[in-house]
C-alpha cells in the first residue's frame, strides 16, 4: 500500500507539463523501469487506454490503465488490469508566478503478489523520487532550463497591534 503525494514548483507552464505527462508513448525514452508503452485505444478525445510494461532485474509486468486528460490542469489514471490490486494516480497542475507551475502528484497502489509488494516497499521512496526526477529531466530536455519568477506578494491592510 505505498502512497506518495508531492507538491512541487517547476519552471514550466501547466500546458508544458500536461503535454509531457500526457505523452505516454514516450515514457520508455526517459522513465526508469518503463520498458514499453502502447496506446491501445482512444475511446474519447480526452481519454486513452494504455499498456505499460515495467521491468526491474527479474521482474517484468504489463499493466493497462485508462488515462483521462483534463486539459490543461489535471490527468487521472484509472487502473484496468495487470499485477496490481489497485492503482490510483493523479497529476494536478496550476500556474505559478510568471511561466511556472505547481504540480500536485499522487500515486497509491498495491500489488496482488505479496513478494512484489514486499520488494517495492523497500524501494518505493527511491523509485518515486527517480520517476519524478525523470519527468523533470525530460522537461529540461524538451523545454530548456526554464525560469520562474514567483508571484508578487499581495498587499494587505493589517491593523496596528495594541501593545
**Domain residue limits at 13:** 3-143
Q: What are phi and psi of 109, to 5 degrees?
A: -155, 165
Q: Please indicate, yes or no, if residue 73 is contained in any of the structural domains.
A: yes
Output DSSP code: residue 83: S
Nearest in space to 21 (alpha carbons), one of 87, 106, 145: 106
| Distance from C-alpha of 71 to C-alpha of 152, rounded to nearest angstrom | 26
Distance CA 63, CA 79 (A): 8
Residue 157 in domain:
no
Q: How many domains does the chain have?
A: 1
Tell me the pLDDT tens digit for each residue of 85-125. Answer: 999 999 999 999 889 999 999 999 888 888 777 777 777 77
Q: Is there a domain that residue 163 lies in? A: no
pLDDT tens track for 36-92: 999 999 999 999 999 999 988 888 999 999 999 999 999 999 999 999 999 999 999
Domain presence at residue 153: no
pTM score, whole prediction: 0.85
Establish if 139 belongs to a structural domain. Answer: yes
**What is the domain-level CATH number for residue 46?**
3.30.530.20
Contact by Cβ (8 Å): 144, 137:
no
Amino acid at each position: 500500500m505505498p502512497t506518495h503525494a508531492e507538491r512541487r514548483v517547476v519552471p514550466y507552464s501547466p500546458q508544458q507539463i500536461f503535454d509531457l505527462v500526457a505523452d505516454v508513448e514516450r515514457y520508455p525514452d526517459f522513465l526508469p523501469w518503463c520498458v514499453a508503452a502502447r496506446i491501445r485505444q482512444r475511446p474519447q478525445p480526452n481519454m486513452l487506454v494504455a499498456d505499460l510494461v515495467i521491468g526491474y532485474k527479474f521482474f517484468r509486468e504489463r499493466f493497462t490503465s485508462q488515462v483521462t486528460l483534463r486539459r490543461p490542469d489535471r490527468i487521472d489514471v484509472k487502473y484496468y488490469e495487470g499485477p496490481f490490486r489497485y492503482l490510483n494516480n493523479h497529476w494536478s497542475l496550476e500556474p505559478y508566478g510568471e511561466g511556472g507551475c505547481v504540480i500536485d502528484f499522487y500515486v497509491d497502489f498495491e500489488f496482488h503478489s505479496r513478494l512484489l509488494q514486499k520488494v517495492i516497499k523497500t524501494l518505493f521512496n527511491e523509485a518515486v523520487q527517480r520517476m519524478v526526477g525523470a519527468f523533470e529531466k525530460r522537461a529540461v530536455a524538451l523545454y530548456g532550463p526554464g525560469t520562474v519568477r514567483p508571484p508578487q506578494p499581495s498587499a494587505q491592510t493589517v491593523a496596528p497591534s495594541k501593545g
